[in-house]
Structure 1
Amino acid sequence: MRLSKLFKNAPTVNVSGLCFDSRKVKPDNVYFCLPGLTFDGHDFIDDAIKNGAICIVHSREIEKKQNGVIYIKVSDVNAAMNQCARLFYGRPSDKMTMFGITGTNGKSTIANIIRSIMNEVEPCGYIGTIAIEYGDVKLMPDLTTPDALFLQSKLADMVNAGMKACALEVSSHGLSQGRVDGINFNVAVFTNFTYDHLDFHGTLENYFDAKCILFKDRVRSDGVSILNIDDKKFEALKSISKAPVISYGIDHEADYRAINIQMDSNSTHFDLVYQGKAYSVMTNLVATYNIYNLLAAIAALHESGVSMDTILSACSHLPQVEGRLEQIKEGQSFNVIVDFAHTPDGMEKMMQFGRMITPDNSDLIAVFGSAGKRDVAKRKVFGELADIYCDYVILTEDDPRDEDPKEIADMIKEGIKNTANIYIEDRYEAIRQAIENAKENDTILLLGKGDEAFIYREEGRAPWIGDDKAARECIQKYRK
């Protein structure tokens, strides 16, 4: 593409790609000097030029400019990069129905439900915490919401592969850092708002303001905002939404409401009330929070034109979302559930569900830790929740990074006053011990990692078998 297509009054030279990492620059790339939390891209301009950058997009004054290199000064490098990425990759999001899902918990489940049901109508991709998926392609992501260059390139790949829609998890980090500024969403979904990410945002107010960006700025005015009416932030989001608002919920009257909910450990039945008519819904999803997730997906799909018959017929056989309330069944006489829960709200909901399916004379056992270099205050809260709901706790590592996992566990233990607990640093050994000692009808909750195939330790990202695979292996080895 010619540079003049990306910037007004720029020379008509051809550019081969866009990059903000000087180490990855290739010949004839445009290099964006992004300011970061740790490093500033302006400090690596010489490296970018050595690697072949033909154009430097910067916001700071540059004293020494090299001949043969084009310099373009802008007020906001990130905004310029977003716009260039959108143009360079051919405005891919304009060629698909874009679903954006944000909220503290539930994003992955809703996005995957949308993709699963949408695929019965037309091809749909998915980008989020679990994977990047479209057609037969499955890639592992580094971030819930990737950087703008990677995101736009993958959306372009989806368009080229024939995708007509995409369900995208939109994190608060991604919103506040402008990673989705080049996307106009047809459907914006809000799940819930609870305590999380204060290590990054500083305050709950800042965290919520980041979520608001999707509904205030990124959803199309002729699109729709799907909001949880039972969440305390409903009215605030409704008041700022650029698009018409559609509500869903259980406790209050809503456009899409679930009533008469009947649930067991394997399935749920409820009546969906929409426009005064009740539809019978049978689903393989369990736990109340998953009924909210399903309602959000139903509303998003139906408001985008998918028929109610198509949606409801698919609800009974939704695919298991990897690492999200994933029940591990290898013929054992006790329950093993893997879940990504890593916030106080997510932890409590999983423990409540575990308590519900565990008989009074059996034990609820939780295996978890807390991430290093992240919000420290929630660690004691995790312990307090385990003290309320669990009969036994095994504390272990969970992305400790350069913190001592034992010290993290000690902070969690500050909230545990009555529940028996031990510390086993090695996560595999912690899971093994829980499974080896479980009694008939006990429930084991493996929380925090889901199906993630890595653990962040001091030396960086290290391979990890995944809680789901570790559980299956331990059941087969030690309980059969």
Structure 2
Amino acid sequence: MRLSKLFKNAPTVNITGLCLDSRKVKKGDMYFCLPGMTFDGHDFIPQAIEKGAIAIVHSKDIIDKLPGVIYIQVEDVTACMNQCARLFYSKPSDKMTMYGITGTNGKSSCANIIKYIRDLKEPCGYIGTIAIEYGKVRIAPDLTTPDTLFLQRKLSDMVRAGMKSCALEVSSHGLSQHRVDGIRFDVAIFTNLTYDHLDFHGTIENYFEAKSILFKELVKEDGVSILNIDDDRYEDLKECSKARVVSYGIDQNCDYRAINIHENAKSTSFDLVYKGQKYPVKTSLVARYNVYNLLACIAALHETGMSLPVILQSCTKIPQIDGRMEQIECGQPFHVVVDFAHTPDGMEQMLRYGRQVAADKGRVITVFGSAGKRDIAKRKVFGELADKYADLIILTEDDPRDENPKDIANQIKEGIQNKPNLFVEDRYEAIRQAIDNASKGDVVLILGKGDEPFMYHESGRVPWTGDNICALECLKASGYGENNNS
């Protein structure tokens, strides 16, 4: 693309790419000097030029300018980069129905539900914690909400691949760091707001303000905000939303409401009340929080043109979402469930579910830890929740980074007063012990990592089996399998 199409009065040189990491610059790129929390992109201008950058977008004064390089000074490099990326990749979000999902819990589940059901009508892409997926392409992500340039490039790839819509998980980090400013959403979904990420945001109010950006910036004429009426922040979001608001929930009257909810270990049924009419719904999703997730998706899909009967029929066949309330089946006479729950609310929801589906004399056995260098205050809360609902608690590593996993476990133990517990540092061994301890009617909950194939240690990101794969391997090692008659 000609530089003059991105900046008025700029030379008509050809820009072949956009880059924000000097290490990844290629010949013909335009390099953006982003100020970061640790490093400042301005410090790496020489490296970017050496690698072939022909244009530099910067906000600080540059004294030693090299001939043959175009320097463009702007007030806000991030805002400029968002606009340039949007233009460079031909405004891809304008060519698809864009669903943005934010909230403490439920983003991955909602995005994957939307992709599955929307795919029945037209091709739909997905970007989030679990994967980047469209057509036959499936890529492992680095972040829940990637950087602006990567996002715009992938959305452009989706358009070329024939995608007509995209479900995008939008994290509070991504919103506060303006990673989605160049994306025009049709739908913004709010799941819930509970304690999380205060190590980054500082206060719950700052955390909420970050989440609210998605709704304040919903500028498409027919845009819609899908809000959880049962969440304490509903009224605040309703007030700040620029788009029309559609509500969903269970406890209060709203646009899409679930009543007569019946749950068991393998499925859930309820009546959907919409405009005074009841619609029976049955789904393979389990637990009350997934009723909320499903309601949000039903509302979003229906409000963007899908037939309600088609949506509800599709709910019966929603496939298992990797690492999210994933039932691990190997012929064993007890339940094994893997979930990404890593917040107090998420953990309590899972522990309640375990308590509910355990047999009369069945036990709830849980395996979990807490991430190093993240939300230290929630560790004792985790212990209190496990002490309230579980019968056996096995503490283990969970992205310890440069903290000692045993020290983290001891902080969790401060909240455990009554229930038997032990610390097994190696996560694989902890899961094995939980499964070996389980008897008929028990529920084993493995929480925190889901299907993540990595673990953060002091040395950085290292491969991890994934809780779901680990649990299946441990079940098979214990003698369960297709030929097991237990």
What's the TM-score once normalised by structure 2's chain length? 0.98
- Give the aligned partner of residue 350 of structure 2: 350
Task: Show the 5 A alignment for 1:243-258.
Answer: 243-258=243-258
**Amino acid corresponding to residue 276 of structure 1 in structure 2:** G
> Compared with structure 1, are the counterparts of its residues 464 and 219 closer, same or farther at alpha carbon in structure 2 (3 Å cutoff)?
farther
Q: Does the 8 Å CA contact 2:186/2:218 hold for their aligned counterparts?
A: no
Residue 418 of structure 1, CA deviation: 0.7
Distance 1:386 1:443 in 2: 13
1:238 partner SS:
helix
Give the match for residue 284 of structure 1.
284
Deviation track 1:19-66 (CA, whole Å, cap 9, x = no partner) reads 011111011100000010100000000010110110110011111111
Q: Which whole-Å CA distance do the structure 1 matches of 2:218 and 2:406 have between them?
A: 42
- Matched position secondary structure for 1:220: coil
- Per the alignment, residue 170 of structure 2 pairs with 170
Q: Tell me the distance in 2 between the aligned counterparts of 1:51 and 1:221.
A: 43
Distance between the aligned counterparts of 1:142 and 1:257, measured in 2? Answer: 35
Deviation per CA, 1:201-240: give whole Å up to 9, x if none: 0001100000110001135242100000000000000011
What's the CA shift string for 1:126-154, capped at 9, x where partnerless?
Answer: 00000001011100000000000000000
Say whether residues 1:216 and 2:216 are aligned partners.
Answer: yes
SS of residue matched to 1:361? coil
Contact 1:365 1:443 in 2 (8 A): yes
Partner of 2:29: 29
Residue 405 of structure 1 pairs with residue 405 of structure 2: yes
Code of the residue aligned with 1:372 in structure 2: it is G
1:87 paired residue number? 87
Where in structure 2 are the equivalents of 1:441-456 lying within 5 Å? 441-456=441-456
Cα deviation code 1:239-277 (max 9, x no counterpart): 111000000000000100001111111111111000111
Q: Deviations along 1:383-432, whole A, 9 cap, x unmatched?
A: 01001000011000001111111111111111111111000110000001
* SS of corresponding position for 1:218: coil
Asked whether the equivalents of residues 218 and 243 of structure 2 are also in contact (C-alpha less than 8 Å), the reply is no
RMSD: 0.7
Q: Which runs of 4+ in 1 moved over 3 A?
A: none
Indicate whether 1:71 and 2:106 are aligned.
no
Aligned to 1:97: 97
- Tell me how far 1:190 sits from its aligned partner: 0.4
Aligned identity (percent) is: 69
| Counterpart Cα distance in 2 of 1:39 and 1:456 | 21
One-letter code aligned to 1:427: R
* Counterpart code for 1:117: I
Structure 2 unaligned blocks of 5 or more: 481-486
* C-alpha separation in 2, matches of 1:146 and 1:120: 27
CA offsets 1:75-114 (integer angstroms, 9 cap, x no match) = 1111111111111111000000000000000011011111
Maintained 8 Å contact 1:187/1:219: no
Aligned pairs for 1:312-351 (under 5 A) are: 312-351=312-351
Counterpart-to-counterpart distance in 1, 2:455 and 2:39? 24
Does 2:467 align with 1:467?
A: yes
Look up the SS of the partner of 2:425 in the other structure.
Answer: coil
How many pairs does the alignment contain? Answer: 480
- For each residue in 1:322-380, what CA deviation from the matched residue of structure 2 results, as whole angstroms up to 9, or x when unmatched? 10000000000111000000000000000000000012312101100001111100011
Secondary structure of the corresponding residue to residue 314 of structure 2: helix
Q: Distance in 2 between matches of 1:123 and 1:392?
A: 45
Question: Match of 2:484?
Answer: none
Mapped to 2, the partners of 1:90 and 1:219 lie a distance apart of: 18
Contact 1:341 1:448 in 2 (8 A): yes
Conserved 8 A contact 1:327-1:336: yes
Taking structure 1 as the reference length, what is the TM-score of the superposition? Answer: 0.99
Mean Cα deviation higher: 354-363 or 13-22 = 354-363
